A and B are shown apart, each in its own frame.
Chain A
């Protein structure tokens, strides 16, 4: 497989996942706030901008942090490279450069999603609230996963998609947990019922609400939510699950068995997986959640760089 194609597959998956993740968070946050006082408004929107890592850009464009501005910024702005519309457009661009290598169904699906998204009129959606738009993106992402799974041979190209997806999702969840904890634990004290409501929203944003209730007894406790989102072995949005998927994908490409590694990306991924497997949530909280998550995010960043060095931009000695 050409290096350029592997790279495009990797980024195609990442962009789709990023668009989907952003849509989930926007949607949940919006509905969570519908039942809240104006006071906490600003506080609850700011974390989304921080999560996207786009504070500076946002401040240059808007004077106020409110639902409409944040929605417009994260969903539609062409000058925000991580807005949903930009992610879908870049995902399609990547798909277009490798359309001979993906299935016809995959291409038609992503191309259709691109045209669907382009037809949304930002002003109308902002007035109507984010649900309709976000729903399209979420299910667009799910459908693309499904189409890919069902129509693309599960060869090394598929593994690069899998690695891209899992890495992006693990990063998104890590940021989500980090930002929400910071926000919910350090914010003004709220009534228990309200707090409960907010944690429900966090779980819903990654589709983990029902799974949480099967695993734990009420009431919803912040530490258990964190445990679920970080350490759960099977939930597809937990960080551990994502890291394990990255590991499986990388090993499938290099043909390395368990207990060993073929390159720096695999070594780091192995470290992350083992930490998430053996660390306990209580210890993590004692040690400091923010520092722990920050560590993970740095390692995910390095894993991405090492994948690129190993497979995409290796030095050619001619």
Chain B
């Protein structure tokens, strides 16, 4: 009789299970970890879990939620059982994502430049121009080295029906979460050093160095004297921990809008020795808050005159302004077409079938099938503005029907994807149960090639049955392991 320890009575359910191919049968990439975990008593596991939690708390690895109006710091729940990907599968993902990032970058170059894609009728001009995040202010602006999408976080899910990964969403504005990838790994190596020894896991900690290299290459004054800063909205932003973490890892200055000033088309920061020129801004402030003279006049997070300096090319911004047009959820449906049009290749990763409510035929279909569809607002992120048909009552469905009718351009609909599951520790019950996950790899583009740290952030819906993995909605995360060499 095999000792299953923690996994005794584990139910793989009707979903694709990342760890088990059949009850009690671990997949090859999980064999060694299974042996380690199965011999562990729940008490021992619980002890390590508490250690990991404490470590996150003391390090202040928290995010801020605003439910009580005061902004409370919370731990981003971390689950100790990693998601493991075999090397061959990762290679395919890496290839598919690289292709996608290049196509998105070419699309942005084109839309804010020559606009060949409209002439060739691959996408309706009206659909692009009506994107809430389309910025006509940057049409014709040439960005350094032609890079718009320096940092992308692309959300993948594994469809339980096919067992295949597909792209759920592109995030090419200011994607966050990469600090958790790095911190999760650090905590895991401290909590389960033995498991790392047994499995050969590809490292992830070169991310800051690679990002730093790319930022440096954008400097209008050359790399030697490049002054690079990370612009944060401040400590009350939900991702503030990540901002300070990345600034520290890259050894660059973490600044707020009030630390910067524009004079004569040049951006400076205020130091104890007077003003110092800034060349590259890794900005974690959204487009509309960047410059009160160009965008929202009430923004105190930005820097007056920043867009002028950006247009004049005296300062570089990463990511570029206006990227939101590429991760709009209606534009998403056209990305496979972009890959064919700009690269002359077939997409490696499948996209989810998407109905664009702006199209009359699609609209009719969506309104007729609301209870079985997922409806999303095109410009939203973080799991807000969403309807999950099968999990909603008729009142909420009718609400959405009204909203869609009132503003079809603002909505798309997709079939429900049954997400794969990974065994996760359920601490109130003290047992391990299957929980749904997605995967967000972080892609860095230097103008020639795309670098992706192996793995990424596996987000997990810790509530039983839930498929919403966003941290703002009770999601947690896991370390993601890509194994070295042959599986």
A: which residues have CB within 8 A of B? 1-4, 6, 93, 96-101, 104, 107-108, 111-112, 115, 156, 253, 311-312, 314, 316, 318
1/0 per position for B249-283, CB-CB distance to A under 8 A?
00001111011011100000111111100000000
Shortest Cβ distance from A312 into B: residue: B272
Task: Answer yes or no: B162 CB below 8 A from chain A CBs.
Answer: no
Given contacts A93-B235, A318-B263, contact A3 B60 (CB under 8 A): no
Give chain B's interface residues, CB within 8 Å of chain A: 57-60, 234-235, 240, 244-245, 247-248, 253-256, 258-259, 261-263, 269-275
- Residue contact A111 to B59, C-beta cutoff 8 Å: yes
Chain B residues within 8 Å of A101, by CB: 248, 254
Contact at A100–B244, with CB atoms within 8 Å? yes
A112 to B263, CA, bound (A): 42
A2, A253, A311: which contacts B253 (Cβ < 8 A)?
A2
Tell whether, in the assembled complex, residue A4 and residue B59 are in contact, meaning their CB atoms are under 8 Å apart: no
Contact B247 A100, beta carbon cutoff 8 Å: yes
Q: Which residues of A contact B59 (CB under 8 A)?
A: 104, 107-108, 111
**Which of A104, A311, A312, A316 has the most chain B CB within a 10 Å cutoff?**
A316
Chain A residues near B248: list those with CB within 8 A.
Answer: 99-101
Q: Helix, strand, loop or mixed for chain B's interface?
A: mixed
Taking the closest CB of chain B, its distance from the CB of A147, in whole angstroms, is: 13
**B229 shortest CB reach to chain A, Å:** 9
List of B residues within 8 angstroms of A104 by Cβ: 59
Beyond A100-B247, A112-B58, whether A316 also contacts B255 by CB under 8 A is: no
B272 & A253 in contact (Cβ 8 Å cutoff)? yes
Residues in chain B near residue A156, CB distance under 8 A: 272
Residues on the A chain within 8 Å of B253, using CB: 2
Decide if B57 touches A115 in the complex (CB within 8 Å): yes
When the two chains form their complex, are residues A108 and B235 in contact, meaning their CB atoms are under 8 A apart?
no
Knowing A93-B235, A318-B261 touch, does A111 contact B270 (C-beta < 8 A)?
Answer: no
What CA separation (Å) do A101 and B250 show in the bound complex? Answer: 12
A4 touches which one: B259, B274, B275 (CB < 8 A)? B259
In the complex, A3→B258 CA distance in Å? 10
The minimal Cβ–Cβ distance linking A92 to chain B, given in whole angstroms, is: 9
Can you list 13 residue pairs at the A/B interface with Cβ under 8 Å? Answer: A1-B273, A3-B259, A3-B272, A96-B235, A96-B244, A97-B234, A99-B60, A100-B245, A100-B248, A108-B58, A111-B58, A111-B60, A318-B262
Q: Looking at the complex, which one of B58, B235, B244, B270 makes contact with A2 (CB distance below 8 Å)?
A: B270
CA distance A107 to B270 in the complex (A): 24
Max chain B Cβ within 10 angstroms of own Cβ: one of A3, A104, A253: A3
Most chain A Cβ neighbours within 10 Å, of B60, B253, B254: B60
> What residues on B are CB-neighbors of A253 within 8 Å?
272
A109 (CB) vs chain B CBs: closest residue: B58
The minimal Cβ–Cβ distance linking B186 to chain A, given in whole angstroms, is 11
| Cβ B259 vs Cβ A316 within 8 A | no
Complex Cα spacing A111 to B241, Å = 13
Residue of A nearest to B250 (CB): A100
Which residues of B have CB within 8 Å of A4? 256, 258-259, 270
